[in-house]
Amino acid sequence: MWIGSLGVGLLLVSFIMNVLKRLDENGTPYLMLNILGSGLAGYYAWVSGIIPFVILEGVWCGAALVRLAIVRSKKGSPISGEPV
């Protein structure tokens, strides 16, 4: 259960930090929090047999991975937190 709670917690932290303008939605830290959080939440949903949430978290994680790849390819820096 702690894995799912940690995942959801990371997603909430990234969301709150973005709303408060502390994390840029195109920054690596924000995207990594989303990837890790949705991955953990998705894993917990999978082992719990909650397939709709597996789909939701899988899409969320995939979208964040794609966005991270786009941001990194445009910036040329794998650790950049600057907006594109």
User: What is the number of domains present in the chain?
Assistant: 1
pTM equals 0.84
Q: What is the Rg, in whole angstroms, of the alpha carbon atoms belonging to the chain?
A: 13
Domain contains 71: yes
CA-wise closest residue to 40 among 82, 9, 63, 72: 9
The total number of residues shown for the chain amounts to 84
Cα 3 to Cα 9: distance, rounded to the nearest angstrom: 10
Domain contains 31: yes
Domain contains 80: no
CA-wise closest residue to 36 among 8, 78, 75: 8
User: For residue range 25-70, what is the model confidence (pLDDT) as tens digits?
Assistant: 999 999 999 999 999 999 999 999 999 999 999 999 999 999 999 9
Q: Residue 7 in contact with residue 39, Cβ under 8 Å?
A: yes
Q: Amino acid identity of 55?
A: I
**Residue span of the structural domain in which 14 resides:** 2-75
Domain contains 84: no
What's the pLDDT at 84? 42
